[in-house]
Amino acid sequence: MLTDMHIAVIGGDARQLEVIRKLSEQDAKISLIGFDQLDDGFVGSYKETFDTINPKTVDAIVLPVSGMNEDREIESIFSRDKTILPEDWLEKTKKHSIIYTGISNDRLKEMAKQSNKKLVELVERDDVAIYNSIPTAEGTIMIVIQNTDITIHNSNVIVTGFGRVGKTIARTFQNLGANVKVAADEPELRARAFEYHLESFPVKDLSKHVADADVVINTIPAHVVSANVLSKMMPHALVVDLASKPGGTDFRYAEKRGIKALLALGLPGIVAPKTAGQIIAGVLTTLLQEHWEEIKGGRK
């Protein structure tokens, strides 16, 4: 339980509601910043602003999956006003307070360092990424169905990258009857693809395999689907880029060639916000409980 732990939940989308609900169930004291338009009430939660909350009582800070941008703005769909993290606010929170965020950037890392606060990036964790690969795969299926005029069954699909997301994507499309190939450089990943009964090849050979591809799904955050690769693809082919912004596709050249290429970011929060929120909430609660036990143990 998180009884008496004061947690500041700052901004977010529908996923954050599941986090708040879970924290409420754990008996935490929750300050909601950037939720002035939220109608739902949660036991133990109170709507606050950076002006009304006392940072000296805060044991943990929870930011949304999207984190904070370089201008210190935190996404908050439940507020009519912008939610801006004050420059020195983190420094005023308790010494043991930890910042939890989905993703981070240089500005947030710098602020965490200046305030001597530990920063935990949840999306970088293997467990969160693997759990999230499930709604990501379902969302990718949705995109492919909406943007092609063929069935997934018997279509030719190439998945670039065979990591935490790529494995789930490849297996899902294989189970739907697609002819799936995998582009990966690591020998152990190529071996795993073999174990999945999937043909694999090095990423540098991608241009040699795309001539008959109906769909290319990129999970590698690097310039993989280049102009050279796109020039070998059929005009009706679809590229779905799941890599973090700006993706790994030459979108300008794809448009020039008439190939539909889509950068699909944040699919879990789009196609299954409740499930995606529950994933974050489950992992976050476990981390907070461990942190709270450490704090209480140190008081003895």
In this prediction the pTM is 0.90
Neighbours of 171 (CB within 10 A): 16
Q: Can you list the domains of the chain with their CATH numbers?
A: 6-124+272-299 (3.40.50.720), 127-265 (3.40.50.720)
Distance CA 17, CA 232 (A): 45
Which pLDDT score is estimated for 300? Answer: 41
- Mean pLDDT in residue range 278-293: 96
Residue 74: name the closest of 42, 55, 49, 92 by CA: 49
| pLDDT tens figures, 176-220 | 999 999 999 999 999 999 999 999 999 999 999 999 999 999 999
For residue 210, count other CB atoms closer than 10 A to its CB.
24
Residue 220 in tokens: 């590698």
Residues 6+ apart with CB under 8 A from 211: 232, 233, 234
Distance of alpha carbon 219 from alpha carbon 136, whole angstroms: 11
Over residues 65-101, the pLDDT tens digits come to 999 999 999 999 999 999 999 999 999 999 999 999 9
Mean pLDDT of the chain: 96
Region 17-36 average pLDDT: 97
Residues in a beta bridge with 180? 157
pLDDT at residue 297, as a whole number: 79
pLDDT at 299: 59
- Residues in contact with 43: Cβ distance below 8 Å, sequence separation at least 6, in sequence order: 24
Cis link prior to 235 (omega < 30° from 0)? no
- Say if residues 89 and 114 touch (Cβ distance below 8 Å): no
How does pLDDT run across 228-279, given as a tens digit for each residue? 999 999 999 999 999 988 999 999 999 999 999 999 999 999 999 999 999 9
Give the mean model confidence (pLDDT) for residues 118-122.
Answer: 97
**pLDDT attached to residue 41:** 80
If we measure between CA atoms, which residue out of 52, 15, 77 comes closest to residue 266?
A: 15
Q: Which of 141, 136, 150, 165 is nearest to 237 (CA)?
A: 150
Residue 40 above 80 pLDDT?
A: no
